[in-house]
Structure 1
Amino acid sequence: MGKEDRINVWSERWEQGKTTWHEHDVSYALKNHGKLLLTGPRHRVFVPLCGKSVDLKWFYDGGHIVVGVEAVEQAILEFFTEQKMSYVTETLTWGKLFKTEDNHLLLYCCDLLNVDIKALGKFDAVWDRGSLVAVNEDDRESYVKLLKSLLAPDFHYLLNVNVYTPNEYFSGPPRNVPPELVECLYGDSCQMEHLETVTRSKDDPKLVKWGIKHMGEVTLLLTPRN
């Protein structure tokens, strides 16, 4: 799937209000394990495919510098409106930047796989919920290569993935990304720690709709491999 097709698919879902992945509360994984991700008072935090996640505001309120990337402008505009935050914009050769006046929250509207890596800089922390599990399988290697290139030497990378058995009716997104696959993708430069698994009830409306009998949400911590 090409760049335009990728963006069009997600744009249509935002236009139609089909954003069932969006959570209205801060992620339980951040509440439970945020201290393992944010090991200092003021980190640069990267949130790929951020949508209008309330987690962005949570990081910002904690005094961190937050950078997100989202391909759909509607999602970014809804974020600032719903969070009642003012912003200014800059037009870039590779996208459009929406940022707070204090430069502590920067949301880039662009194709994630075509960002300007130097412009983004390096990050002490990465929060990856609904991102790795959303990218197409053909784009995974490019995605992981990009994320690795953005990591500061002493990074902490909190990753939330979904684990289930795909069927003929549903194979994502969210896609099935078991810890073993994460190890294959990141293991050359990261060591992985399994922090938590939350099992969705078989009566969960989403699972019933998808015909999935069991789904686990697994939280992993990636840190530099010694």
Structure 2
Amino acid sequence: MLPNRMCEALRPLLSTLGGNLKAGRAIVRDVRFRSVLVEDTMSGENRMDTWQERWKEGRTGWQLSDVHFGLENHASKLLPKPERRILVPLCGKTVDIEWLYREGHTVVGIEGIEQPIVEFFSERNLPYTTDHLTWAKVFKTEDDRLRMYCCDIFKMDMESLGKFDAIWDRGSLVAIYEEDREKYAQMIKALLAPDFRYMISATQYTPNEGFSGPPRNIPTALLEKLFGDVCELQVLEESIRPKETLEHWGLDYFVEALLLLTPRS
């Protein structure tokens, strides 16, 4: 028998695994994830400076070289119709944006730091023009089907942005401070078109003194609290990180849950 303390430590992981395996959707992904975990040393006053510094120094382990598995596996659920209008908040220079654009959708990215936006276009040899708005600097392709706004996400002009058929939230909510979550949720809900699809990647673990994010712990119950008034939630897939990749942070388990939010009937 396992010691009581060890049983307690394993209980969250066993519970997660049990439920996921019954649903047939749990997948162990042996990836190098340690670099994605970012020490949260930011205060409200210098958070933008901190991200600026990380981009300048190339400390951006959260950036993936391939399209996210959520899009690869579930794009048809997020985008059931062609030529959708989709928002990617706090996008960095994710390759997901190019993939969505090449699929024929109209893509809008929001990013607080200019460097990754410039790098996104230059690395892909995508011609672009820029406009200076009162609240943002916008970079756009010649066909105007891809726009990336450099701005504070909480200072966006909601009326100018309009409504979106879909939102792909891979690294936005998990980076938002706890005190800003309610404001963020209200903002996102205001941008949703009537027949929306909102897919979110939610990292789930038990925070400790060694690590509490970002990416932050976003349990499904929190998503219900933030979005349950207008959304129905469906867990599409859960990716379990091997424990050996998490030992540096003292985490017993780390799950990346992919959820689809649709209009509440």
Give TM-score scaled by structure 1 length.
Answer: 0.96
Aligned residue in 2 for 1:214:
253
Aligned residue in 1 for 2:140:
99
Aligned residue in 1 for 2:160:
119
Runs of 5+ in structure 2 lacking a partner?
1-42
Aligned residue in 2 for 1:152:
193
Aligned residue in 1 for 2:64:
23
> For residues 180-219 of structure 1, what are the structure 2 equivalents within 5 Å?
180-204=221-245, 207-219=246-258
Distance in 2 (CA, whole Å) between partners of 1:210 and 1:80 is 34
Match of 2:244, SS?
coil
Percent sequence identity is 53
Distance in 1 (CA, whole Å) between partners of 2:231 and 2:175 is 21
Distance in 1 (CA, whole Å) between partners of 2:264 and 2:155 is 27
Distance in 2 (CA, whole Å) between partners of 1:53 and 1:190 is 26
Aligned residue in 2 for 1:55:
96
Match of 1:169, SS?
coil
Distance in 2 (CA, whole Å) between partners of 1:148 and 1:217 is 22
Q: CA deviation at 1:209?
A: 2.5
Match of 2:82, SS?
coil
Q: CA deviation at 1:170?
A: 0.6
Q: Which structure would you say has the larger Rg? A: 2
In angstroms, what is the RMSD of aligned CA positions? 0.9
Higher relative contact order structure (alpha carbons within 8 Å, sequence separation ≥ 6): 2
Displacement over 4 Å in runs of 4+ = none
Distance in 2 (CA, whole Å) between partners of 1:120 and 1:9 is 27
Match of 2:188, SS?
helix
Q: CA deviation at 1:6?
A: 2.6
Q: Deviations over 1:188-223 (max 9, x none)?
A: 01000011111000122xx23222121000000000
**Letter of the aligned partner of 1:18 in structure 2?**
R
Q: CA deviation at 1:177?
A: 0.3
Q: CA deviation at 1:9?
A: 1.8
Aligned residue in 2 for 1:165:
206
Aligned residue in 1 for 2:129:
88
Distance in 2 (CA, whole Å) between partners of 1:25 and 1:208 is 25
Distance in 2 (CA, whole Å) between partners of 1:208 and 1:78 is 33
Which of residues 183, 191, 208 is equivalent to 1:142?
183
Verify: 1:109 aligned to 2:109, yes or no. Answer: no
Distance in 2 (CA, whole Å) between partners of 1:220 and 1:73 is 29
Distance in 2 (CA, whole Å) between partners of 1:29 and 1:7 is 28
Distance in 1 (CA, whole Å) between partners of 2:255 and 2:229 is 25
Distance in 2 (CA, whole Å) between partners of 1:91 and 1:196 is 40
Match of 1:203, SS?
helix
Runs of 5+ in structure 1 lacking a partner?
none
Distance in 2 (CA, whole Å) between partners of 1:24 and 1:146 is 29
Match of 1:103, SS?
coil
Distance in 2 (CA, whole Å) between partners of 1:42 and 1:54 is 18
Distance in 2 (CA, whole Å) between partners of 1:208 and 1:18 is 20
